[in-house]
Amino acid sequence: MLKLIANRLGQGVITLFAVSVLIFICTQILPGDVASAVLGQGATPEALAAFRKELGLNEPAYMRYINWLWGAVRGDLGVSMTNQRVIIDELLPRLYNTLFLAGYAALIAIPLSVGLGILAAINEGKLVDKASNILTLITISIPEFFIAYLMIIFFVVDLGWFPSLATVYPGIEFGERVYITTLPAVALTMLVAAHMLRMTRSSVLSVMSSPYIEMAFLKGAKRTRVISRHALPNAAAPIITVIALNLAYLVVGVVVLEAVFVYPGIGQLMVDAVSKRDVPVIQACGLVFAMVFVVLNTLADVAIILVNPRLRHKR
């Protein structure tokens, strides 16, 4: 088992390295000149040359990548081009805000979706199952920004229950932070809960056709007990995988909702960096998003190994 876990961790490190190469290449091949975008069209050739030298743009691309990667490994993501601030100091508070919002949504979405998915599987073909299928399909089909605007119109404009802007600041009280971030958290919950619910339902129902499940029914076991004691543990692998993917999406996909609610998270930081062509900040945000995906998928692989006895023993 330790060998399998070490193998998954090694694959995660290799994947993260490959993603870092892609991030660097994609930011380097963007059209236009970074120095001209930062200094403006009125910059003199001497100023442009000095700025390129200061940024290290005169060095070969592979040397710039090695320097950037070595700095990232040491926790040095560079300096922002627009405000000359240290990126890591600006990134960490926003990353905390994004993780708080994603964690808030996950606390609602995971129990709700897994519970309703199991309930739909228990009542296959009944009203609860049909209603959940229709509602999840509708939720998946609607873009997240449209859901966010509908919630703003209903809960902010019409009812006045929540603020329209999810503006948080350092030192804010926990209760006030929870209240301010409720609307974006619920919007995220609606977005990811539908995927997890449908996957939970389909995973449980696929296991229900197995011979040992039929034997449990022939012994007189109730459907609820068969699903909870026999089907659910064996359906855990795809459920864990889809939960990990949706948790990663809660962090990465929050970019649109942060822009809608003007939430000071890492997604909003990346949008501002793209509009200002601040390449070091874009690279830092992209690397953080990649790390979230790789770490969560690696943890999901390890969790699947731990919950599935067939993967812990040699065949």
For the entire predicted model, the pTM comes to 0.74
Cβ pair 290, 16 in contact under 8 A: yes
Amino acid identity at 79: V
Q: Which domains does the chain have, with CATH numbers?
A: 2-73 (no CATH), 93-312 (1.10.3720.10)
pLDDT reported for residue 81: 73
Q: What gap in Å lies between CA 216 and CA 222, rounded to an integer?
A: 9
Q: What is the pLDDT of residues 258-315, one digit of tens each?
A: 778 878 888 778 877 777 777 788 888 888 888 887 887 777 777 776 766 565 555 5
In eight-state DSSP terms, residue 30 is -
Quickly state the pLDDT bin for 37 (edges 50, 70, 90). low
Most confident among 37-41, 145-149, 254-258, 300-304 (mean pLDDT): 145-149
161-165, 179-183, 238-242: least confident range: 238-242
Q: How many CB atoms lie within 10 A of CB 95?
A: 19
pLDDT reported for residue 16: 80
Show the tokens assigned to 15: 């994947």
pLDDT reported for residue 35: 63
pLDDT reported for residue 10: 80
pLDDT reported for residue 18: 84
pLDDT reported for residue 42: 63
pLDDT reported for residue 263: 81
pLDDT reported for residue 32: 59
pLDDT reported for residue 311: 58
Q: What is the pLDDT of residues 38-91, one digit of tens each?
A: 666 666 677 667 766 766 666 677 777 887 788 777 877 777 777 778 888 888
pLDDT(193) > 60: yes
- Residue 21: is it exposed, middle or buried by C-beta count within 10 angstroms (0-12/13-18/19+)? exposed
pLDDT reported for residue 57: 66
Percent of the chain with pLDDT over 70: 82
pLDDT reported for residue 62: 75
Instruction: Dump strand ranges (E) for 55-97.
Output: none
pLDDT(124) > 70: yes
Q: How many CB atoms lie within 10 A of CB 177?
A: 17
pLDDT(166) > 70: yes
pLDDT(97) > 80: yes
Q: What is the pLDDT of residues 194-237, one digit of tens each?
A: 778 887 787 777 777 777 777 777 777 777 777 767 676 677 77
Closest CA to 54 of 25, 29, 78, 75: 78
> Who contacts 303 (Cβ-Cβ below 8 Å, separation ≥6)?
240
pLDDT reported for residue 30: 65
pLDDT reported for residue 39: 62
